[in-house]
Structure 1
């Protein structure tokens, strides 16, 4: 592929020698894993985290993707919610990443890999992602970010590489569906996952179901709201969501927005981004 950034990425990966790719099965980590294989061959392993707040269908998709790429695939089992984030603090992403990626680093060290890499890209630094600070502190490398690749470029290159994820909707762990300073419960993750999967299977590829205890707040892009407001469909959604464990079901008329609970901490969002990516 004659693309300067992609060639630069391959050379960057070769210089690392051997890597563990933190692999979720999303657009970025799939592209990164494909590039890592091209650059390093069998000196690569994909490691997928399995936790209560990672949708099971996403783990299944990750398995299939790695199988197609043809790379060693391992799983980091985290069977319960880690103590540091049980009350969903504002810096839960930082605390979670610090704990989980410390485990990933241990895996890499114990299995003879030199580096851990993740799929952070250039666009991520403009969002509230305190977890990126944890990655920086742990020495996790972010090849896509360090080679100046944006989300749109990653999608374009993924399409050229014939990766099935090139047009996959962006996703995030289910922790982002719960308001800050709210006790995290595994039963909430279960009903969120089932509800979102139901919406996806009904053609709403971009959807978030925010959980306010017994109330589900559905977010879809504004141009999908009209398609959603059909009485028979609304009745069906309400019935299904209640089967999944919600008592009340609502629609956010403002539509989908990334980081739906971050508006309450807007000042901290800006400060965290500035602090994390100030280059010294």
Structure 2
């Protein structure tokens, strides 16, 4: 990384981008920047945590504001949504990079991100984004080990994704739906849950929590607080997904694989 000259890291505040930013700061010092792209799909709490983390790392931090909702292809919410999102995001970050006289854009993509339905990776590849974790085959588990060795407070932070990932493909992404999801997820965060999602199926909210937190969510008092809070966020109905949290459970490839595996099991029976 020392050979990169001047470098900008796309900085979400998650453990992946934190590790890349920390290494960049150590390798390049004042020649490294972290840039967070702020839009409707980034929860306010995530932005606050990203700003605090950049200060913890000691890297210079810039914000750039844009709206994915300006692109009708993103709002349409097809399976290619992430391609349009990441295209806009890195084009915006490249604008700041040019102002800072930086030639290299870096991301926190890791080796565990490959193999799933990730059209956003195509957008980054088109823009020749530097992906050191992916380049050296660093898995998510190894990223966390690196983060702990680097002394980063987020080494065990649960993986997050942009708020639009809570809306099933084919259902338009709107500002109202994004804010409703954000408010609903703040309810679970306030109750102390660590790994969760609120999937927005129109007026119905499907709540996912990690399997190891399921016993707590089934407590009648807690369940009632979640139901009332998610209703207050704007959802008419609230359901609990008994399969628990699954990253990318709205992902079309993951869903297709699950259906295929189910058919195989039925054949065996």
Which residue of 16, 40, 47 corresponds with 1:59? Answer: 47
How much does 1:258 deviate? 1.1
Does 2:10 align with 1:26? no
Does 2:96 align with 1:104? no
Which residue of 188, 192, 197 corresponds with 1:208? Answer: 197
Which residue of 192, 212, 218 corresponds with 2:207? Answer: 218
Deviations 1:80-131 (A, max 9, x none): 6131211111100011111221121222123200100000001000322110
CA distance in 2, matches of 1:223, 1:133: 34
How much does 1:266 deviate? 5.4
Which residue of 71, 82, 86 corresponds with 2:75? Answer: 86
What is the Cα-based RMSD across aligned positions, in Å?
1.6
Greater mean alpha carbon deviation, residues 180-189 or residues 221-230: 221-230
Greater mean alpha carbon deviation, residues 128-137 or residues 100-109: 100-109
How much does 1:222 deviate? 2.1
2:54·2:61 contact (CA, 8 Å) conserved in 1?
yes
How much does 1:254 deviate? 1.3
CA distance in 2, matches of 1:100, 1:162: 28
Question: Per the alignment, in what secondary structure is the counterpart of residue 184 of structure 1?
Answer: coil
Greater mean alpha carbon deviation, residues 53-62 or residues 69-78: 69-78
Instruction: Count how many residue pairs are aligned between Structure 1 and Structure 2.
Output: 256
2:107·2:130 contact (CA, 8 Å) conserved in 1?
yes
TM-score (norm 2): 0.91
How much does 1:238 deviate? 1.1
How much does 1:263 deviate? 4.1
Which residue of 108, 127, 133 corresponds with 1:119? Answer: 108
Which residue of 77, 89, 93 corresponds with 2:65? Answer: 77
1:242 match: 231
- Unpaired runs of 5+ in structure 2? 258-269
Superposed, which structure 2 residues align to 1:254-273 within 5 Å? 254-263=243-252
1:52·1:79 contact (CA, 8 Å) conserved in 2?
yes
Superposed, which structure 2 residues align to 1:91-240 within 5 Å? 91-240=80-229
Which residue of 37, 42, 46 corresponds with 1:49? Answer: 37
1:217·1:252 contact (CA, 8 Å) conserved in 2?
yes
1:128·1:259 contact (CA, 8 Å) conserved in 2?
no
CA distance in 1, matches of 2:101, 2:251: 39
1:36 match: 24
CA distance in 2, matches of 1:232, 1:166: 31
TM-score (norm 1): 0.87
- Unpaired runs of 5+ in structure 1? 1-12, 269-280
Question: Per the alignment, in what secondary structure is the counterpart of residue 126 of structure 1?
Answer: coil
